[in-house]
Amino acid sequence: MEEWQLQVYKKSLKKKEKIDLLLNSLKDLQGKVCLEVGCARGTVSHFLRTAGGTWFHADTDSSNVQAAISLVKDGVLQIPPNVLPFPDSTFDVIVSLDYLEHVRDDDAAMHELRRVLKPEGRLMISTPTTGPTFLLNKIKPLIGLTLDKYGHVREGYDLGDLRARLKQQGYSIVSASTYSRFFTELIEMGINFAFVNILGKRMDGDASRRDGNITIGSKESFQKHQGSMKMYSLVYPFLFVFTRLDKLIPWQGYALFIEARKPGT
């Protein structure tokens, strides 16, 4: 039977967009040594392996590490916050998806990413987007979706500000864009609200989890919510069609994606 992480992925909206963006950016990985920081439950890790190269995956949360191991089997390790147990200039490619918003000292985290990246190496970062015009970000805490429910210590990053911080570290920006536009993010918010406030009165896990308690986070949780998953599967095609309305608001994405290159020696 297909692993539970992939079954959940098949009914995802935002995650599919993110993985498509990532795989379109990952080319020519033959012979490359690559690192994923913040691997969560291993879903993205699974697809990264299909892109080629030799991959290592890291996360600060022990339950995430165990879930990722169950899916990709090897190359997964648990790390302390802001510490990567690798020598300088180890990796050709580093992927950091939905990680920086979870760590308190993001300067230290970014320094570690740069330290272990080789000269001319590529860094790919995805985080939530923040700013005064992001209406749904203002609604979330009003309906109980506070930062702690996501495991976040900050709402996210402004695309321009994060680009500037990377440039200050000497990176050249290869590409920068946003995804998960209004209607996709609206559906995601509704799903998270249902999980936390309807299905999850008894939280799935504990508040110390790196990535919070807004979705199915373990095989046990997946099995527990089988009935809800079947109901969601029935409406998923309609939700997917609804998200195509994103084309009406193409300028504002609730998640950002940046690819940067470290300078050579």
Domains of the chain: 4-261 (3.40.50.150)
pLDDT level of residue 215 (50, 70, 90 thresholds): confident
Quick check: 116 pLDDT over 70?
yes
Q: What span, in angstroms and rounded, lies between the C-alpha atoms of 76 and 45?
A: 9
Burial of 73 (0-12, 13-18, 19+ CB in 10 A): exposed
pLDDT in tens, 121-180: 999 999 999 999 999 999 999 999 999 999 999 999 999 999 999 999 999 999 999 999
Quick check: 205 pLDDT over 60?
no
**pTM for the whole structure:** 0.92
- Taking a C-beta distance cutoff of 8 angstroms, is the pair 110, 169 a contact? yes
Quick check: 35 pLDDT over 50?
yes
Q: Average pLDDT in the 101-113 region?
A: 94
pLDDT, residue 212, reads 57
Report CA torsion sign: 228, 232, 233, 235. positive
- Taking a C-beta distance cutoff of 8 angstroms, is the pair 145, 151 a contact? no
